[in-house]
Amino acid sequence: MGAVDPYPRLDQYGTIFRITTDGLLTRLLRCEGTNGNHLAGNGFNLCRNRRGAVLPGGVAALTVTRLLSGKRAAIVARMSKQYAQIDGDLAAWISRQRLFFVATAPLSADGHVNTSPKGGEALRVLGPREVAYQDYTGSGAETVAHLRENGRIVIMFCAFDGPPKIVRLHGRGTVVTSEHPRFGYVASCFPVHPGTRAFIHVDVTRVSDSCGHGVPCFDYRGERDALERWATLQGPENLKAYRAAKNATSIDGLAAFGHSGG
């Protein structure tokens, strides 16, 4: 038997395998159930069997069933999943994430696609197919302008520590300002923040996850307080004037907060 390739490979079907120099797969294992831990080799961990013995080129801490002994080998791991809704476990995972990303786009083919990072404390899961996040005053208003035009939105979460995971929530977003009939209810789900200009409410139409093995690990150090301090110093009237001047339209000229700043 040839020498073992030191790194696992991943094919288009989500199968992880190792190959000897003579082209034979070295092992055949099936992983039944997963706790989502890192993989081995180049960014991967080791796989253990039910007795705790380390197996080369596998997925960490999985329940492993040997299908063939010796000659040809592979490890099958679930790489993605679509959910019927945001269940309790997924909602709890989302609540632990310190960062998420929001992406929207205008209808025009010449328009600018936008993505924005948000602090994890700004989002709440309101129901199995319903989330909302706090939209703070800032120099741009791309998300709001796109939602007012077409409503399309996707929110993405990545695990930067612990087991790897990416979750995407596709849906239809609504801009909830102080004039909106649901403003009071949505606002009651969040701590008061002086920089809040609106809430973005999303009716979720698709819930999915993927492996997240390509996302690096980072340590959380804390929240930045510059925005909150700035908004406090500005006061409500100056913030309203700032939004009227800076947030009236998107960079493509789509209406966002209008001249009233609301």
Count the helix, strand and coil residues of the chain and give each as a percent rounded to the nearest 5. Answer: 20, 35, 50
DSSP code string of 133-177: EEEE--S--HHHHHHHHT-EEEEEEE-SSSS--EEEEEEEEEEE-
Q: Which of 129, 112, 137, 128 is nearest to 196 (CA)?
A: 137
Phi, psi dihedral angles at 157 (to 5 degrees): -115, 145
- pLDDT score at 262: 57
Which residue range(s) make up the domain with 242?
Answer: 81-246
CATH number at residue 177: 2.30.110.10
Letter for the amino acid at 163? P
Give yes or no: residues 224 and 120 share one domain: yes
Give yes or no: residues 74 and 85 share one domain: no
- Is 253 a domain residue? no
- Is 40 a domain residue? yes
Q: Dig out the tokens for 38 from the structure.
A: 């890192």
Q: Which of 174, 168, 169, 158 is nearest to 205 (CA)?
A: 169
Count of the separate structural domains present in the chain: 2
Give yes or no: residues 117 and 226 share one domain: yes
Q: Is 204 helix (H, G, I), strand (E, B) or coil?
A: strand
- pLDDT score at 61: 28
- pLDDT score at 42: 32
**Residues of the chain with confidence (pLDDT) below 50:** 1-78
Q: Which of 46, 142, 64, 148 is nearest to 103 (CA)?
A: 142
- Is 44 a domain residue? yes
User: HSE-up of 43 (CA within 13 Å, CB side)?
Assistant: 11
* pTM of structure: 0.72
Q: Which of 21, 38, 242, 20 is nearest to 136 (CA)?
A: 242
- pLDDT score at 80: 82
